[in-house]
Structure 1
Amino acid sequence: MKKIILSFLLVINGLICSFAQTNAEVEMATDFRSSGKIYVVILVLAIILIGLAIYLFTIDRKITRLEKSRKA
């Protein structure tokens, strides 16, 4: 019963959020696009995400190495 109520509330929340959005353009995004700075923003975000992914993979490798040494 709780799952049904929770899923119903999530659907209602999604509908409310979709109707709350407006179609007005954001000035900052338009300015970034017109001046070409949007590519810098995308590049910085990509570098941050790649760095996080590399960090997570190295942490995972260290943890698996520690787990293997602990079992042995």
Structure 2
Amino acid sequence: MKRYFITLLLLFVTSLLFAQNAQPTEMADAFRSQGKIYVVIATIAIIFVGLAIYLVMIDRRLRKIENDN
């Protein structure tokens, strides 16, 4: 489980590094200049963390059900 999490984390970080080479967009510049980009990043981070927690909980439940049978 830890190996999968670390792999996903590294893939996510790598994709962020490649995204830095893209041309900046007007919308991103507007968000950045108004300070709203942090709200967008925080929202996306909360969604990803929520999904990860949900998937871990489902995995634990499935393991418990499999072990009971």
Q: % of aligned pairs identical?
A: 54
State TM-score, norm by structure 2: 0.66
In structure 1, stretches of 5+ residues that fail to align are 1-22
Q: For 1:27-38, what aligned pairs fall within 5 Å after superposition?
A: 27-38=26-37
Work out the CA distance in 1 between the residues paired with 2:47 and 2:23: 29
Aligned-CA RMSD value: 1.6
Count the aligned residue pairs: 49
Stretches of 4+ aligned residues off by more than 3 angstroms: none
State TM-score, norm by structure 1: 0.63
Q: For 1:1-72, what aligned pairs fall within 5 Å after superposition?
A: 24-70=23-69
